[in-house]
Amino acid sequence: MQTSVTTIDRFINEQEDQYPAATGELSSLLYDIALAAKLIAAAIRRAGLVNILGTAGAQNVQGEEQQKLDVFANETIKNCLKHTGRVCVMGSEEDEDIIPVPTEYEAGKYAVLFDPLDGSSNIDVNSAVGTIFSIHRRRSIDGRGTSADVLQPGCTQVAAGYVMYGSSTMLVYTTGQGVHGFTLDPTIGEFLLSHERIVTPRIGKYYSVNESNFGRWDKGTQTAVRGLKGDTPDVVAPKNSRYIGSLVADFHRNLITGGVFLYPADARNPDGKLRLLYEASPMAFIAEQAQGSATDGMNRILDIVPLNLHQRVPLVIGSREDVGFVADTLRRVAQRASGPIAQPAL
């Protein structure tokens, strides 16, 4: 039986061949991340058996109980990257400050940001969790990496991706040449190409938002979500609600089937909950490469210049027309609230 399997290594190499100037370092960095993903996937699969569930007791910089798998995932990614000579600095949701590569290792030309285990509150209930990563070229000239290397707008990313530890383990990434998905075959320990050139439908089936925040949203957001539910069927067809509470899982479903995910600002989270650098920005790169889009409600995520490592941002991401509907609604409600624009006297 003819089997034409494409491993992630072969696929990355074939993509790199299209760029004669490529040195192969970015490709090798993507392998390093794929290795970390395999190690984390194995730990998650074993989690119920070797009792590494439950909290590690420590709290991360977000003030959240740090689960043991959070700690393991964070350390695994750092250990897979720091000695390679390809990275000068890292930024992690689990670490308060940037992580310059230790002096005993060569500092490379890339800065890597990551959320090592997003949705970790779902760990103990065996629901999907994920790793999200974002790669920029360093801006500093030499030496250890600095904040300037990580505080870059999403439009300067050279690669971004996520790993979803769900019913199967999938790695989805882009280097600006489309979005491609690989499924881990645990029997051989290889990520195999399963979703080449993912394109998200223009209009989605689902909307994903935590509706328990409805009373804390502004009027524009409430109006937009009501529209997605079917209040304005002449403008947007009613959608089904799907919300897992894990960004990677909600984003991935919408990417494949079409849909829009929202984590808006609210009275309790005036900048929303999600982080710009290692959640919104990489997902926005992927969304746009899959012909979708991503905004903070009105402004393109990839244009936002970050001011600090753990900066939060409201997020509306997914099918292009659905994201556009939300933006149009927010603008219309804002204009109505600010009153009719004074027409210049003729």
Residue ranges binding ligand P6P (CB under 6 A): 118-119, 121, 210, 245-247, 273
Measure CA of the first residue to CA of the last residue in the chain; give whole Å. 78
- 167 or 268: CB nearest ligand P6P: 268
- 87 or 309: CB nearest ligand P6P: 309
- 198 or 247: CB nearest ligand P6P: 247
Residue 178 has a CB neighbour count (10 Å cut-off) of 14
- 28 or 269: CB nearest ligand P6P: 269
* Nearest approach, Cβ of residue 120 and ligand P6P (Å): 7
What's the DSSP call for residue 280?
A: I
Cβ neighbourhood burial of 309 (10 Å; 0-12, 13-18, 19+): buried
* Rounded Cα–Cα distance for residues 151 and 69 (Å): 27
Cβ neighbourhood burial of 141 (10 Å; 0-12, 13-18, 19+): exposed
* Nearest approach, Cβ of residue 22 and ligand P6P (Å): 33
* Nearest approach, Cβ of residue 119 and ligand P6P (Å): 4
Contact of 198 with 180, CB cutoff 8 Å: yes
* Rounded Cα–Cα distance for residues 73 and 78 (Å): 9
- 28 or 55: CB nearest ligand P6P: 55
* Nearest approach, Cβ of residue 210 and ligand P6P (Å): 3
- 224 or 247: CB nearest ligand P6P: 247
Residue 64 has a CB neighbour count (10 Å cut-off) of 14
* Nearest approach, Cβ of residue 221 and ligand P6P (Å): 14
Tokens found for residue 21: 């100037």
* Nearest approach, Cβ of residue 118 and ligand P6P (Å): 5
